[in-house]
Every structure is written in C-alpha cells, then in structure tokens.
A and B are shown apart, each in its own frame.
Chain A
Amino acid sequence: MEILRSDNITMQFGGLTAVKDFNLTLNKGEIVALIGPNGAGKTTAFNMITGVYKPTNGKIYYKGSEITHMAPYQITKLGIARTFQNIRLFKDLSVLENVLIANHLHIKSNVFEALLRLPKYKNEDRKMMRKSLELLEIVGLADEKHEKSSSLPYGKQRRLEIARALATSPELLLLDEPAAGMNPTESEDLTKFIRQIRDDFNLTIFMIEHHMQVVMGISERIYVFDYGITIAHGSPKEIQNNQRVIEAYLGVDENA
C-alpha cells in the first residue's frame, strides 16, 4: 500500500535546480534509501517532503491527500517525522525535555487547562512522560535523561534525534544520514536498530545515507540522485550493477 508519492517535484534555487522531476513512491513498511554524491539534492528532497521548502513544481501526496503546500508542523502532525543531517537538537534543554517537546503536537488540553494542572492535562502530561522515558529506554539514553542534550557525544545525539522524531508518533520516518560519523561496528548496530524500530513502531523509513554497507544491508529499494536528477531506482543489487551509478560515484567523465 502506498503511503507517500511525489509527482515530478522540482526545486530551484535561483538558477540552480537542486532537484528535478523527482518521482518517489514509498509503500507502507518499506525501508527505502536515497543516495547520491555530495550536493546531489538529497536533503533538498527531504525538505520538500517535510514542508521546509515548497517545491517549485510538482505535487506530494501523503496517504492519498496532497501535502505540497502544508507547513512543516502540519505535515508532522499527519505522521511524517524526520531527523536532520547536521543534528538540530534543542541544545540547552535536557535529553528528556527534547523528547517531551516532540509529544506536544498531539496535546488536547489548552493552555489554561495546562496552567491550572487540571486532571485532563495532568493525565496527558503523565502519558507524555511515560512515553518519553520508554523511548529513551529504547534508544539507550535513559541514564542521561537529565543531561543537557548538547553535552552528549555525537553518536548519542543522533540517537536522541531519532527518539525525538519517534515521539511525534510518526508513520513515516525520514532519516538524513543517520550513520554519519559512525565506525563500522556502530553502523552495524544502527542498521539493526533501524530495522527494529521499523518493526516495533510499524514505520515506513526513507533514509539518506552515504555508508554503502548500511544502505545495501538495509534497504529494499534505492533511489540514486546525481545533480538533482534521479539517475537510477531499483533493488540494492540492481543499483550496485548500474553503470550510471558507478560512473556518478567514481566521477567518470561521461564524454570520455
């Protein structure tokens, strides 16, 4: 079953076309990767899907309804969550607060009910707390819950970002280079972890990744970008043997 589809989405920055005619289909429960050399437009594609950028052209549908012109917070409310390539935690706040904040979008109590600590709010607050602690447990950050998030080592910050994204109760999770800066063992753990959360939370995962080991090991399908153009799309095997992909990665001059 299709969960997300984009029709020819294009993003231009002045004269630069960062992404051109990207047609993406994600099916429920899949793990799909987006790869490509630096500056190929991968993060830009994420930013279009999550509403950070409005595509210059094309349309995006989530579960059948159009989300192209929605604000990022609306898109997140519908069930698409993300992490950032260059980690964007709430730096001065604690690990726990970071995750709690991501629960706020579903709050039903208004500000007065919250101020007066009415039972309705207290109940919601208790649930948020329980859920956040559970998530921290899952990503292995329970012991650091009162630490300032910026004081965590890099790898843990990445996991905190995932926990925070999960706290919004997404159905589709976009991960922008989750294995960046990790050594082979850590990437191995991450691969397992991503599969595990996909199963435990019934997620569909769309990820940008440079570590080929991770990409090939985990994805069911792969899209390849080069200069904003989708040069290939297929199973890991097909991609590995695709001539254009090899050229793009090895930087072979096409005219040679």
Chain B
Amino acid sequence: MKKRDYYLTAISLILLIGFIFYADNNMDAYMVRILNLCAIYTILGLSMNLINGFTGLFSLGHAGFMSVGAYVTAILTLSVNAKVQNFFLKPIAAPLSNVVWPFFPALLLGGALTALVGFLIGAPALRLKGDYLAIATLGFAEIIRVIFTNTQTITNGALGLKGIPAYTNLWWSFGIAIFTIVTMILLINSSYGRAFKAIREDEIAAESMGIDLFKHKVLSFTIGAFFAGIGGGLLGNLLGTIDPLMFRFTLTFNILLIIVLGGIGSITGTVISAFVVTIAQEALRFLDQSINLGFVVIPGVAGMRMVVFSILLMLVVLFYRHGLMGTNEFSWDKFLNVISMKKPLLKGGRK
C-alpha cells in the first residue's frame, strides 16, 4: 500500500469512529438498530461470500450456522434469573443454569462451536458438488433447526429465548464488521485465498496444480461458518429474542440476496450491498402495509417486501449477473479517479 493510501484509510477509520460515536449518542433507538443490522449483515454477507463467492461452493446452510452462534451466545449470556423465567416448561440442563459469561467470550465460543459444526457438516457434504451440495447444506440447516426445536432443556425448544441481554451495540457490531473485512482481505489476498479462487474457477485445473480440493473447501467452509456464528451471536443479543423459526431458509435467502446484488466474489460489493439491502428492507416496510393511493386502497400483504426483493434478485441473476461490483474491489486509486472524474488508469497503473 502506498503511504497516501495508509493516510486515507486511517482518516476514513477516524471518520467512521466519529460517526459511530455520534450515532451512539444522538440517534434514536430505531436508527441505531438499523445501523447495527447493517454491520451484522456485512459480517454475514462476507462469511457467505467466502464460501459461495470466493470458493465457488453452492452452500445454503447459513441460517443453520447463525442459529448455532446465536443460541450459544444467548444461552451463555442470559442471566440466571432470565433462564429461570424462560425455561418454565422444563428447567434448563444443570451446568448451563448457572453459567453466565461476559459477551465477548460467549461470542467467541459461539463462533468456535459454529466453526466446529461447519467442519462436521462440511466433511461429508463437501464431497458433493454443485446442486447436491446446496441441497445437502439446506438439509443440514433444517436439521439443526429441528434439533434446536426439540432440545427443550438446552434451547427452550419452540418457545425460544427471551430477555437476552442487549449487549450488541454499534461498537461491537461495527468493530467486528471491520475485523471481518480485514480478515477477509488478508485471507483472499493470501496464497490460501488464491487457492480458494482457483477452486471456484476450475476444480480440475486446481487439483492438477496440486491443490487439495477437499482440504481447502473444508477450510473455507469452516472459516465462513465461524463468522456466520459470530454474526448470529451479535444478532441474538441485538434483538433480545430468538426462536428456531427465525432461522428458516428466508434468512439464508436474505444473505444470498446481499452477496448476489453486491457481486459474488467481491468484498466491497458485499459491504455496500449489506447496507443498501438492510436499509431498503426497512424503507420498503410500507409495502407490507395497506397503501392508500387516494382513489384506491391496496390492502397490505405481509411479505410483499420479500416479493419485491425476490424479483430484484431474479432480474440481477438474469440480466446483470455480476451484481454491483462483479469481482472488483475498492481501491483508493479507483475511488479518487471516480470522484475527480479522471480517466481511469490502465491496468498496472500505466497511463
């Protein structure tokens, strides 16, 4: 990186910190919540993009991963009292009833256990290719949900968990989002990241170049699961309540939407798209309510927003497959060129 780029990055970070500080103190709870969601969806989008976009694995198990992270973090951070109140059908299993951890270690363990689950699912599933992998991961996510619905003394079953401490704030969500972005940049630009991309491009050629396909797929899958678990944990402790129904396929679909719109295989695209989609989903909330056009009243249809987003997804897939960014990434050079409307440099920086 050039010296100039270091300065620009440092300045942007300071501006971001200033903004978080301002938002934390001055914005209303609703706005803060949306910003938190933007950051969390950035984390989730990046973790899914690592698996689907950079490694080219068609995986649809994200909601399953998130649920593991969310439940682990929630159970570990719930107060003893809240646990008693939640588990009124059957008391919570013995060692868990008295365990109350601080947020960060709980989140980390949530991520680590999700990574373990990712590894265990990946080991058999990643022997499958393409559509079969999609079906298998989808099935695994559903199995996790069914398990959580039936482990009454651990997860409180279908009743879900309420009163999860609202530890997630802008510092946590944006802090971890930045950590995730940095990790992804370092990973993708390392030899391992190149191996992932090689697998995406051509498995036969990649294997012929000595890349152990299975090992690298499991690696990517496990790292992706880790961050999905962290994202799930942040989400649970933001919303305050979780239940198994939250983690249906729709949730995976939302994240898929983000990475497809942003550009499969672009970190920058995912970040932008996570913000745009999250904000748009709030802004388009009116679509679910009845709309009064003065002369005619369109009755509200719950889920209308999702219809709009699904159509958008279809249009992108049909006509604009590269999404917002394709596989391009942000760089200060390009950014400065765009804002000063100079002619872009040729590849390699030649004029």
Contact = CB atoms under 8 A, between A and B. Distances in A.
Interface string B201-231: 1101111111111000001000100000000
Given A93-B197, A117-B186, A124-B191, A105 B347 contact: no
Given A100-B191, A128-B191, A52 B208 contact: yes
Contact of B206 (A81, A100, A101): A101
B208 A105 contact: no
A175 interface: no
Given A71-B207, A89-B205, A90-B197, A115 B190 contact: yes
A73 B327 contact: no
A103 B210 CA distance: 9
Contacts of B213: 73
A97 interface: yes
B194 interface: yes
B198 interface: yes
Contact of A90 (B183, B186, B198): B198
Given A73-B212, A73-B213, A104-B211, A114 B192 contact: yes
A125 B186 CA distance: 13
Contact of B205 (A88, A109, A117): A88
Q: Which range holds the interface residue count of chain A?
A: 35 or more
B327 A168 contact: no
Interface of B: 183, 186-187, 190-192, 194-195, 197-198, 201-202, 204-213, 219, 223, 327, 347-348
27 contacts: A71-B212, A73-B207, A73-B210, A76-B208, A76-B209, A84-B208, A90-B197, A90-B201, A91-B202, A92-B327, A100-B194, A101-B195, A101-B209, A104-B195, A104-B198, A104-B209, A104-B211, A107-B191, A111-B187, A114-B186, A114-B190, A115-B187, A115-B190, A117-B186, A146-B347, A165-B209, A168-B210
A104 B348 contact: no
Given A88-B204, A104-B209, A114-B191, 8 more contacts: A72-B207, A81-B209, A90-B202, A101-B209, A102-B210, A104-B198, A109-B191, A165-B209
Q: Which of B201, B207, B209 has the most CB of A within 10 A?
A: B209
A147 interface: yes
A104 B210 contact: yes
Interface of A: 50, 52, 71-73, 76-77, 81-82, 84, 88-93, 97, 100-107, 109, 111, 114-117, 121, 124-125, 128, 145-147, 164-165, 167-168
A104 B194 contact: yes
B75 to A, nearest CB: 28
Contacts of B210: 73, 76-77, 102, 104-106, 168
Nearest to A76: B210
Contacts, number: 106
Q: Which of A97, A102, A106, A146 has the most CB of B within 10 A?
A: A102
Contact of A50 (B187, B192, B194, B208): B208
Contacts of B219: 111
A168 B212 CA distance: 13
A50 B206 CA distance: 13
A90 B198 CA distance: 6
A124 to B, nearest CB: 7
Contact of B191 (A71, A89, A125): A125
B198 A101 contact: yes
Contact of B183 (A50, A71, A77, A115): A115
Contacts of B206: 90, 101
Contacts of A90: 197-198, 201-202, 205-206
A72 B191 contact: no
Contacts of A93: 194, 197-198, 201
A105 to B, nearest CB: 3
Contacts of A165: 209
Given A90-B201, A115-B183, A101 B194 contact: yes
Given A73-B211, A105-B209, A97 B197 contact: yes
A7 to B, nearest CB: 23
Nearest to A79: B210
Q: Which of A73, A88, A100 has the most CB of B within 10 A?
A: A73
A102 B191 contact: no
Contacts of A89: 202, 205
B162 to A, nearest CB: 37
B192 A111 contact: yes
Contacts of A77: 210
Contact of B201 (A92, A109, A121, A146): A92
Contacts of A72: 204, 207-208
Q: Which of B213, B223, B348 has the most CB of A within 10 A?
A: B348
B186 A147 contact: no
A116 B204 CA distance: 30
B211 A101 contact: yes
Given A147-B347, A168-B210, A88 B190 contact: no
A106 B7 CA distance: 36
Contacts of A115: 183, 186-187, 190
A67 to B, nearest CB: 14
Contacts of A128: 191
Contacts of A101: 194-195, 197-198, 206, 209, 211
A147 to B, nearest CB: 7
Give 4 nearest A-B pairs by CB, closest first.
A105-B210, A76-B210, A90-B201, A88-B205
B201 A105 contact: no
A177 to B, nearest CB: 16
Q: Which of A81, A89, A101, A116 has the most CB of B within 10 A?
A: A101
